[in-house]
A and B are shown apart, each in its own frame.
Chain A
C-alpha cells in the first residue's frame, strides 16, 4: 500500500481483504514480486542510519518505493514484568524505557496509582515534578537533535547536542542524586527536596541554553546545507498525522493543536504561562523547528518554576497522609537532608480495587498508562502506550517517494527512540 502523502488522503486499512479465502497471507506477511529494476535494502538493525530497529526498503534506483518498519529488537516485556511486581518497584522498571526522559515516562504511572490511592502531591512537589519533567524534555530534545545532526553528517550538532545535554543531566543529578534514572516522583510527592542553590543553578543554565539555541539556529537550522536536506522532505499532512495517530512534536509540526499539557493540564502546568508551538508545514524542517521552539518554551516554564520554588521554600513535598503516620526520625532526616524516607508500608503497598488512566506529554509525545488493580499488592494489568510506538507507523508512509539519502533525514526528524517503542 503506497500512499501519496501530498494528496492528504490516507486510505483506511481494509480489514475485509484480510479475511480467510481472499488472501493467503497474514497481514504484513504478504509476498510480493519485485520489479526487475528494484532491490531490497535492509537498513538496520545494526546500521548507523537507524537505531535498534530495521527498516526494510525497496529501492528503484535511488528512490525508495516501499518502506517497512520492523520493530521489536529491544522489547523487554515491561508490561508483563509489571504484573509480577509491587507497585513501587515498577517505577525504576518503566523509567528504563526512556532514560533520557525518565521523569516524563514514570510520572503518568505515579499519577495513575495516586488516583487509585486518592492522593494528590502537595504544591511544591508538583513544581519539583514539573522542573524535572521540563529538564528531561530539553535533554530529550537535545539528544534527538544530536542524533538528527549525525544522520545528516553534521557532526558538530551531534557533539553540541550531547555536550549541552550534560548541563541538564548535571541539574537533574543535583536535584535527584542520579544522572539519568532519577526514580524521582513517588506516590504522594517526590523523593527529595531541591538543594539550596538549585534555583540559582537553574537560572544560570537557562541563560546559557538561551544563548546556545541561537548558536544552534546559526550552525544547524539556518545552515543552507541542512535546510536543503530538510525542506519539503518527509511531509506529513494534517490529515495523515491525525489519521495515523501521531503524537507529540511530530503531530504539532503538521499543524495539529494537541498537547496534553494544554488539553488536560496535569501537575502544575495550568499555573504556568507558556506557549505551545505549532508548525504548519509538516516536513522535517518543521519537526526540527518545533523542537527548538519547545526548548524555548520549556526554558520559560523552568524560569517560572524557579520563582515558584523560591516562593514555596520549606513547604512539604509529600502528602499530608504520609507525614501523619511517620515516626519522628523521618521528619528529622527530611529537615536535615531534604530526603523523604519511605515507610516500610511502601514495599507492600496495597492499592484499592479500580482502574486508573493517566497521561503526560513526554519529550517525544503523549505517553499513557492504564492500570487495573484488583486490590492486591501487585497490579493486575499495566498498559503502556509510548509515543515512539505511535510515531513508528509514519515511517511506512513518510519515507516512500524519497531518496535513500532522505531516510536518515526523515528517521532523525521523527526523533524515534526504539527502547521506548518496544518497551
Chain B
C-alpha cells in the first residue's frame, strides 16, 4: 500500500514538475524572449547565418571558407570554436574608458535588440500572445518602438571607449540612426495602412492564400529591407564599424566576450528585424493554420518555427550581399537613405493606403 502511494506520489511529482517545466517553457513571455524566436533561436540562427555568410562569400571568392574544424560538417563547428575562444579571452578595459557605460552598454544593446521579439505574436492561437488582448491591438506599434532602443547604447559604447576610432564610429552610428529609423517604421506601417490594424495577428491573417503583403506592396518591403541593412550595419552599409577605415568603430576597445557580444548584437538585431519583416510582409506563419485550441506543439512550436524559417531566408539574403558589395561612405549612405529609401518608404505607404482603400 505504502509502496503504491509512494509510486503514485513520485509519478505525480514528476509529472507536475515536467508539465510545470513545459508550461514555463511555453509561457509566452519566456518562450518568445528566451526560446523561439528569442535568445536561444537567435543564437543558433546567428551562428548558422555567420557560417552561411562566410561559406557563401567563400564560394563566390574562389575559396572554401571555414573547413578545418569539422570538414564533414563543412566547417560548421568553427563558429562554436570561435564562441568558446571569445568567452575565455581576457577582457581588457582601458584605463581611460568610462567604466560603467563601457561594461554595461554591450549587454543592454543585446537585450534591447531582442526585446521586439517579446511583443510579437508568432501564432494565431490566443493563449500564446505575449501581451494582453488590448495591448496586442498595438503590437506593430510597440515592436517598432522597441527596435529603436538599442542604437543609443552603441553610441554610448563609442563615447565610453574614449578612443578616436570609436568616437568616429559612434558619430557615424548616430548619423545613421536618423537615416534608417523613419524609413523602416514607415515601411512597416504601410502594412498597417493596408490592413487597417496595428495588430500583427490581423496583418498575418490578412495575408492568407498567398496574398502576401510583400507581393502586394513590394516598394514598402524594399524600403524596410534596405532600412534593415542600414540599421544592422550589413553590406553595403557596414559603415559604423568599417574595419579598413576605423578599425572596428565603436567596438575598437572591446575584447574577449564583450567583443563577441557586440558582433552578435548586430546579427541579433538583424534577426529581430527579419522576424518583423516576415510577419509584416511575408505571410508570417501562413500557409499553416493551427486548429483552434491547439496545444503547445501545433499551436505554438510549429508556427514559430515557420516564422523562424522564413526569417532565416531573409537573413541569408542579407548576408549574401557581403559577397557582392563594398561599403558606402557615410554621407552617401545618408544621401541614399533620405533621397531614395525614404522616398520609397513614403511611396510604399501611399500604395498601402491606396490598397487599404481598394482591398
Contact = CB atoms under 8 A, between A and B. Distances in A.
A188 interface: no
Contacts of B137: none
Contact of B168 (A159, A160, A225, A404): A404
Nearest to A164: B62
A153 B324 CA distance: 10
B50 interface: no
Interface stretch (B21-29, B197-205, B232-240): B232-240
B171 interface: yes
Interface in A332-368: none
A62 B164 contact: no
Contacts of A158: 61
B329 A155 contact: no
Contacts of A272: none
B57 A156 contact: yes
Given A48-B247, A228-B328, A405-B245, A153 B235 contact: yes
Nearest to A158: B61
B327 interface: yes
A225 B328 contact: yes
Contacts of A407: 245
A62 to B, nearest CB: 7
Contacts of A223: 324-326
Contact of A62 (B247, B323, B330, B332): B330
A223 B62 CA distance: 19
A45 to B, nearest CB: 14
A219 B324 contact: yes
B328 A229 contact: yes
Nearest to A407: B245
Contacts of A153: 235-236, 238, 242-244, 325-327
Interface residues of A, number: 33
A107 interface: no
Nearest to B325: A225
B326 A403 contact: no
B217 to A, nearest CB: 25
A405 B329 CA distance: 6
Contacts of A48: 243-244, 247
Nearest to A59: B168
A150 to B, nearest CB: 6
Interface string A192-215: 000000000000000000000000
B91 interface: no
B85 interface: no
B60 interface: yes
A241 B322 CA distance: 35
B90 interface: no
Interface in A114-143: none
Nearest to A63: B331
Contacts of A314: none
A408 B171 CA distance: 19
A155 B322 contact: yes
Nearest to A162: B62
A223 B323 CA distance: 12
A229 B171 CA distance: 20
Contacts of B328: 225, 228-229
B244 A225 contact: no
A355 to B, nearest CB: 44
Given A153-B235, A408-B244, A403 B57 contact: no
B246 interface: yes
Interface string B320-346: 001111111111100000000000000
Contacts of B331: 62, 403
B324 A160 contact: no
Contact of A150 (B164, B244, B332): B244
Given A153-B235, A153-B242, A229 B326 contact: yes
Contacts of A160: 61-62
A180 interface: no
Nearest to B175: A62
A189 interface: no
Contacts of A229: 326-329, 332
B327 A152 contact: yes
17 contacts: A41-B165, A48-B244, A59-B168, A61-B171, A62-B168, A62-B172, A153-B243, A154-B325, A155-B57, A157-B326, A163-B61, A163-B62, A228-B332, A229-B332, A403-B329, A403-B331, A407-B245
